[in-house]
Chains A and B, each alone.
Chain A
Amino acid sequence: MGSYRMDVLVCGGTGCQASNSIDVIETMSKEIKAAGLEKEINLVTTGCFGFCEQGPIVKIQPDNVFYVKVTPESAAVIVKEHFVKGRVVKELLYEEPKTRKKLEEQSDMPFYKKQERIALRNCGLIDPENINEYIAVDGYQALGKALSEMTPEQVIDEVKRSGLRGRGGGGFPTGTKWELTRMSKADRRFIICNADEGDPGAFMDRSILEGDPHSVLEAMAIAGYAIGADSGYIYIRAEYPLAINRLKIAVKQAYDMGLLGKNILGTDFSFDIHLKYGAGAFVCGEETALINSIEGGRGEPTVKPPFPAEVGLWKMPTNINNVETFANVCPILLRGADWFASIGTEKSKGTKVFALAGKVNNVGLVEVPMGTTLREIIFDLGGGIKNNRKFKAVQTGGPSGGCITEENLNIPIDYDSLTEIGSMMGSGGMIVMDEDDCMVNIAKFYLEFTVDEACGRCTACRVGNKRLHEILTKITEGKGTEEDLERLKDLSQIIKDSSLCGLGQTAPNPVLSTMKYFWHEYLAHVNDKYCPAGVCKALLKYHIIPEKCKGCTLCTKVCPKGIISGKLKEAHVINKEECIACGACEQVCKFGAITRM
């Protein structure tokens, strides 16, 4: 990347931008100029490093120093100390929470140690708005290799042998999908990149598009060559403005360099890429719904078969892969199917990106080989549970998935093992929950989401899920009965059996899996009118522990109902009958004397 003495990589992903990384970049640029170093130091705005918890992140090369939580003020210090005087700014290094040691290098951090980055290989390494930086890291070589040295059949064969499976949810073998589309007889065929990342809590596709958009464009062109398509569409959520912007820049640059458009690299292969924006509908992640949306209609799913590989966009055979799947394609062509197939488990090859979020210390994106255990991901990479609380469950697969408890944390995860324990891989969102989360409430949350997002086409999903949500609401309000629990089970099964598309068929999963693992919590809600996690407001009762109460009277002052009584320096009492469970007293108590029960 030129003859600079130093490369300074600053994260410009959505997460770090929200923590002010734009100001960090501006300050740095100013300070570098003020120090007269602009010819020596190359300031690069990169995509996501993945370690969102510690953002904004600044990495210095070749010194290999990794600064965390950098503010505009500390950015100025980095310039003065590190760039001018050559001294590492210790205060800005990541501190390993267990040993309290400051770590300089990324590779020493537990968060990065077990990661193996294939799909995220360039995120945080290159400037996503500069095609030359992508080319410098072997970009567009795989396309060149495919077009000049391989037949379309050979490309498909390579992808098939690699064992790559769809990273968007279903886990269908990618090479087979390509082959099926190629075999469908038609005048035209299309490629679609599904970038409608609707699973709340999953943000790997966004990060790839923001950090390495060319890797997706290149793979789409390769797929186009393999199946015989002349154009491709990227269907992207409107909620991702930064990713859209970077994609637009990347598409233009690729056209300007002759890497997209007519006669790519001087061959007779031509390929165009168009961007299409979603307008906020979760169901559009489903292939047939997505196609309807691209055609300008309501994003309602249609019955399969026929599959898009036979009858897809504009009634032509269409191959749909998601962003992360495409991001794996170029390394497979360059390094070979055998290399890729050597990573992972027997039936799930390669790596998977997980978005670690919720009550975990290191929120962020991690890419690990298939077969890594949940325990490793949550406790080694993720650094365990926030505030030393106890782990309760992790939800994978989003609204279609299920929760996994302590007993299954040691299972090596891949597509099949997750399905076996009642969850699914989905797009790779992982929401960690602790003892303060009520599982009935979580199930209700997911159902609220599905009810909101159901397209309304089939009755089972439209009406059934609404009923599920009503029953769950009733339970969290303390009005549920044991018969309601039976009804939940029965109805869930009916919805699964009779819904039209994947959204409806999987919508009851959060209910079924929380019932399976947390049956006692459901029982407590309906029989004892008690929420063990202390979340469901209607079931809350606040109570003062007499031994802990010092009689400071603070709680009596904040209680909006004025129902806490007691003399100064004597234990206080809450009138439970009139308590509205607002929690104000608990928040002000300095002695931890007020508990929920």
Chain B
Amino acid sequence: MGEYKVDAEKLKKLGDFIEGLEYAEGELINILREAQEMFGYLPMDVQLFIARKLGIPAAKVYGVATFYSYFTMTPRGKHVISVCLGTACFVKGADRIVEEFRKQLNIKEGTISEDGMYTLDSIRCVGACGLAPVVIVDGKVHGRVKPEDVAAIIRGINEDESGEQMLVKQNVQ
């Protein structure tokens, strides 16, 4: 598997996963989900690997990977901040929240910050409209967010981050 410029061990695991499936071709979306879970995103080489493994054109794999918003072909930040832009959140000012994150983190939507720490994303409705506008940080839902809360949310991520580093340090010691 030397021809692929990605982690060979992960690739092997992915290969095993594919081989374990009954009707592998119909499971393409599932396979891509699994691959993204392993690699964090879907590098070209991983897509090529899947195509060869299934014996289907790489264009088909690429076609599916680019069709669904769940899949990404660029690495994501360590922390993913998703602002809901569903209608309920939108009429309650979610665009102002996105704007505020953009300003404070100095990144555009859908991109990763320079230090690789954050990805700013928008999503369409998580169904928690009662708490609009909603921001999801690494899976945790923050409800009724106001633009002035954005700084505190970012601070929260950073504090967790330094707490984690402290723990790692303690463990090393």
Contact = CB atoms under 8 A, between A and B. Distances in A.
Contact of B70 (A15, A201, A238, A357): A238
A445 B87 contact: yes
Q: How many residues of B sit at the interface, in one of the four size bands?
A: 35 or more
Contacts of A363: 88, 129-130, 132
B134 A433 contact: no
B167 to A, nearest CB: 22
Interface in B57-79: 60, 63-64, 67-71
Contacts of B28: 296-297
Contact of A355 (B25, B92, B129): B129
B88 A431 contact: yes
Given A277-B29, A280-B70, A431-B91, A240 B127 contact: yes
B90 A14 contact: no
Contact of B127 (A197, A446, A449): A197
Given A18-B134, A357-B87, A431-B91, A201 B129 contact: yes
Given A239-B123, A429-B87, A431-B91, A279 B71 contact: yes
A200 to B, nearest CB: 3
A203 B26 contact: no
Given A15-B130, A18-B128, A239-B126, A281 B68 contact: yes
Contacts of A240: 126-127
A398 B129 CA distance: 14
Given A15-B130, A15-B131, A293-B29, A357 B88 contact: yes
A281 B63 CA distance: 13
A437 interface: yes
B27 A200 contact: no
A107 to B, nearest CB: 21
A300 B67 CA distance: 9
A395 B26 contact: no
Contact of A437 (B29, B91, B126, B131): B91
Contacts of B60: 297
B26 to A, nearest CB: 4
A143 B141 CA distance: 38
A228 to B, nearest CB: 22
B100 to A, nearest CB: 12
B130 A53 contact: yes
A357 B130 contact: yes
A378 interface: no
Nearest to B54: A296
Given A14-B127, A18-B143, A19-B143, A200 B67 contact: no
A247 B132 CA distance: 26
Contacts of B126: 14, 239-240
Contacts of B131: 15, 18-19, 52
B52 interface: no
Contacts of B86: 200-201
Contacts of B92: 358-359
Interface in B1-37: 25-30, 32-33
B124 interface: yes
Nearest to A442: B91
A18 to B, nearest CB: 4
A18 B71 CA distance: 25
A433 B91 contact: yes
Nearest to A446: B87
Contacts of B85: 200
Most central of B86, B90, B91 by chain A CB within 10 Å: B91
Interface in A151-203: 197-203
B125 interface: yes
Interface string A503-530: 0000000000000000000000000000
Contacts of B91: 358-359, 431, 433, 437, 442
Contact of B87 (A207, A281, A299, A358): A358
A14 B69 CA distance: 22
A19 B131 CA distance: 8
A233 to B, nearest CB: 11
A281 B128 contact: no
Contacts of B25: 296
Interface of B: 25-30, 32-33, 60, 63-64, 67-71, 85-88, 90-92, 123-132, 134, 141-143
Given A277-B30, A279-B29, 18 more contacts: A198-B125, A199-B125, A200-B87, A200-B125, A201-B88, A201-B129, A238-B70, A239-B123, A279-B33, A279-B70, A279-B71, A281-B68, A294-B26, A298-B64, A299-B68, A355-B129, A363-B88, A433-B91
For the complex of A and B, list the 5 residue pairs with the smallest distance between their C-beta atoms, beginning with the closest: A52-B130, A200-B86, A203-B127, A279-B68, A357-B88
